[in-house]
């Protein structure tokens, strides 16, 4: 049997717990019961927190044995507000706008990503190369090739890397798939999936829209083409949500 260090076990527990929006008490109890002191804390950073990343901060902040040490966002306004909250709570948190600088920090054990989709694969791979364990939001990547590179990086650098496919990981769905694979439904001829989630129109514009002055748009685009924003609804803004 392969031996696993206690610290490694805690990292596994932390990243597994990040797979649900609000961690169950059982997950908190399981991990926290193995924590000895501050020296054993898993030091984590959150990249992107203008939406789903807020759930990362809330959930991880409630878990004993996990300590926020860094925040990264390419929008200085978003970063400043969250840094202020952290500092007001007494935490010692370093802020970054460039993920490459964050990954140079040796005091970070794990990184969670809640960025736009085009940053998921590259950010996760860079983090693994930097010796960090990773939790990254769904979808893992835009294409199969990028997803396989994430797998290769996790194995090459011996890192934990988990993608937030919460529903796929749920006990109920695992039981349903096992029941199906046991042949209880016979031969499956056709399967149909429906998902109705009505959303307001993102509107229509006649041309490129202005980039917020607080945003480093070059870093925001990252590996994606450096094209100007095309949507600009009053409700969500042109970049922080309607990049879809």
What are 47's two structure tokens? 């990249």
Domain encompassing residue 200: 196-244
Enter the tokens of residue 153: 């990086």
Picking from 124, 150, 168, the residue at the C-terminal end of a domain is: 168
pLDDT at 237: 56
- Residue 180 inside a domain? The answer is no
Please check whether residue 184 lies inside any domain of the structure: no
Whether residue 222 sits in one domain with residue 146? no
- Quick one: which H or E segment has residue 103? helix 99-103
Q: How many structural domains are present in the chain?
A: 2
Q: List the CATH number of the domain containing 65.
A: 3.40.50.720
The pLDDT value given to residue 30:
35
Query: Both 243 and 201 in a single domain?
Result: yes
Instruction: State how far Cα 6 lies from the chain centre.
Output: 24
User: In whole angstroms, what is the distance from residue 94 CA to residue 114 CA?
Assistant: 18
What pTM value is reported for the model?
0.77
Is residue 186 assigned to a domain? no
**112 burial class (0-12, 13-18, 19+ CB within 10 angstroms)?**
buried
Does one domain contain both 79 and 133? yes
**Judgement on whether residues 162 and 210 belong to the same structural domain of the protein:** no
223 shares its domain with 159? no
187, part of any domain = no
Same domain? 30 vs 144: yes
Residues 133 and 222 in one domain: no
* pLDDT in 10s for each residue of the chain, 244 residues: 444 554 554 555 565 555 544 333 223 333 333 344 456 889 999 999 988 889 999 999 899 899 999 999 999 999 999 999 998 888 899 999 999 999 999 999 999 999 999 999 999 999 999 999 999 999 999 899 999 999 999 999 999 999 988 777 788 988 998 999 999 998 889 989 888 888 777 777 788 888 889 999 999 999 999 988 887 666 545 677 777 7
């Amino acid at each position: 049997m392969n031996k696993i260090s206690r610290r490694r076990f805690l990292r596994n527990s932390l990243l597994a717990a990040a797979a649900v929006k609000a961690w169950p008490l059982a997950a908190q109890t399981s991990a926290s019961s193995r924590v000895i002191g501050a020296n054993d804390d898993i030091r984590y950073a959150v990249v992107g927190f203008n939406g789903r990343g807020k759930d990362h901060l809330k959930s991880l902040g409630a878990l004993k044995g996990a300590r926020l040490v860094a925040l990264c966002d390419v929008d200085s306004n978003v970063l400043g507000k969250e840094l202020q909250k952290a500092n007001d709570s007494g935490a010692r948190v370093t802020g970054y706008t460039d993920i490459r600088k964050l990954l140079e920090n040796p005091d970070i054990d794990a990184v969670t990503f809640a960025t736009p989709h085009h940053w998921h694969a590259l950010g996760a791979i860079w983090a693994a190369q930097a010796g960090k364990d990773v939790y990254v939001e769904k979808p893992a990547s835009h294409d199969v090739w990028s997803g396989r590179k994430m797998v290769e990086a996790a194995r090459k650098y011996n890192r934990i890397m988990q993608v937030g496919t919460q529903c796929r990981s749920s006990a109920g769905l695992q039981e349903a798939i096992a029941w199906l694979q046991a042949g209880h439904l016979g031969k499956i001829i056709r399967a149909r999936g429906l998902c109705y989630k009505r959303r307001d129109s993102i509107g229509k514009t006649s041309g490129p829209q202005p980039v917020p002055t607080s945003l480093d748009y070059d870093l925001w685009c990252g590996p994606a083409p450096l094209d100007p924003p095309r949507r600009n609804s009053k409700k969500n803004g042109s970049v922080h949500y309607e990049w879809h």
